Structure 1
Amino acid sequence: MKKRILNIFMIAAVAVVMVNCKDKAKEANTSEAEAAAVNESTTQKYVTDVTKSTIEWKGFKPTGTHNGTVNIDTGVFQVDGGNIQSGTFLIDMTSIVSLDLEEGKMKTNLENHLKGTVEGKEGDFFNVTQFPTGAFEVTGVSDEGGKTMLSGNLTLKGVKQNITFPVSVANVGDELTITSDAFTIDRTKWGVNYGSKTVFDNLGDKFISDEIELKINVVAYKKA
């Protein structure tokens, strides 16, 4: 009887992990940092509207997921004929919030843990006291099978890696919008190692997936 109950729990645990894995978006192509794109003399400058721009995130663990947002800070893009030539934006890592938890101790504890501001655990996750700002700089734009692919150097915790992911770009009047498809990154490639079973042994079912799902939403306006 005990063996049967144990088998049921094992099957349930595997099922949860499989469901969580199926929910993940495709991982972005990741490589070493590259030279930033250079704009042409004919480009038009667009400045990021920080009140309308954000990054949605989702984290996975065997017992479920957490999701939230982090704010995009100042950014500038150079556009020529509706096409992105170059661009950069900063990421305010101190603005990490969870949206799946109600206001209270659990929400506060999770957000502080992700920020790495819990006393004695400052190195956990993103350690925003030491690394309050992340960054993204465009290195290129390409077309793959009719889909626009945006490549750029993503900097987190002082580590810079190049990633490529699909985006939709619209340039109407004075407004530029860049909306990515949901994609994942392997956080350990940026030294975000807390709870990673590929980094630490004997975590059992207390591990947290290496993959973080991101969805980037940028709104920028033409600068005279």
Structure 2
Amino acid sequence: MNKFFTIATVALIALASCKGAPKADKAETTEEQQALSKEGVAYHIDSTQVVSFIGSKPVGEHHGTFNISEGQLFVSNGVSVTGGKLTMDLKSLKITDKDTAGSTKLAGHLASADFFEVDKFPTATFEITNVQPYNVDSTKSALVLDGATHTISGNLTLRGVTKNVTFPAIIRVTDNVATAQANFNINRTDWGLVYGNDKSLGDKFIRPEVNVSFSIAANKQQ
């Protein structure tokens, strides 16, 4: 009996450790699109804010952030986001795992040429190409981002490669503040980040899906 419970316990631990990619809306990825013109009033995104990411393997996942070094949202008539751009400082990469063992080594590896190659590509940018009210599509599975108000499309430039990504978001605008929230998955190989993308590596396999999330606030420039 003890042997049975030992085997069962090991099996449960193994199943618990075999996590899939983070559950989130899958961004639609296409080729680079024309950015929107800067219409409306500029709302400033300060440099205290971050973009978060999660990468995963069969045996677990790692969490991290990049600082937003600068950014703006443009608001028309005080109610509608009409465009915007943000720049991420890739050299600010920080691992935020609860278990901090190995965080410094992991951050160094992610900064290397195997991944972000920050010495050559110190920044990444996201520039909005389209913002539309979110419309429910009955042919698609339910959204993970509950309460989505808009669909955002934008050019994401990473390691010198630009792709357009589209994802649901929650956008709110008041007199002095515009906020945007999103949580979605992208395929890192679309930007040439292919390290570890081989299932034959077993536990060392790194899933191509990367979770990206942000919750930013932009203040109206006076």
TM range (shorter): 0.7 to 0.9
Whether the 8 Å contact between 1:138 and 1:151 is mirrored in structure 2 is: yes
Instruction: Give the C-alpha shift of residue 58 in structure 1.
Output: 0.7
Q: Give the Cα–Cα distance (whole angstroms) in 1 for the partners of residues 115 and 11 of structure 2.
A: 29
Letter in 2 for 1:188: T
Q: Secondary structure at the match of 1:192?
A: coil
Structure 1 residues 204 and 22 mapped into 2: Cα distance closer, same or farther (>3 Å)? Answer: closer
Residue in 1 that maps onto 2:31: 32
5+ unaligned residues in a row in structure 2: which ranges? 1-8, 137-147
Contact 2:21 2:207 (8 Å CA) reproduced: no
Q: How many residues align?
A: 205
Which of 66, 69, 91 lines up with 1:70 in the alignment?
A: 66
Preserved CA contact (<8 Å) 2:22 2:211: no
Higher mean C-alpha deviation, range 57-66 or range 144-153: 144-153
Partner of 2:145: none
Q: Secondary structure at the match of 2:190?
A: helix
Q: What are the equivalent positions in structure 2 for 1:42-57 lying under 5 Å apart?
A: 43-51=40-48, 53-57=49-53
Task: Give me the whole-angstrom Cα distance separating, in 1, the residues matched to 2:22 and 2:106.
Answer: 21
Partner of 1:193: 194
What letter corresponds to residue 157 of structure 1 in structure 2? R
What TM-score do the two structures reach when normalised by structure 2?
A: 0.83
Deviation at 1:54, TM superposition (A): 1.2
Quote the offset at 1:101 in angstroms. 4.5
Matched, 1:89 2:79: no
Query: Percent identity of the aligned residues?
Result: 36
Unaligned segments of structure 1, at least 5 residues: 1-7, 117-122
Q: Tell me how large the CA RMSD over aligned residues is.
A: 2.5
- TM-score w.r.t. length of structure 1: 0.82
Give the 3 Å change call, closer, same or farther, for CA 65–103 of structure 1 in structure 2: closer
Deviation of the 1:111 alpha carbon: 0.7
User: Matches of 1:147 and 1:171 in 2, distance apart?
Assistant: 12
1:172 and 1:113 mapped to 2: Cα distance? Answer: 41
Cα shift at 1:16: 4.2
| Alpha-carbon offset, residue 23 of structure 1 | 3.8
Work out whether 1:125 is the aligned partner of 2:115.
Answer: yes
Q: Is the 8 A contact 1:101 1:107 kept in 2?
A: no
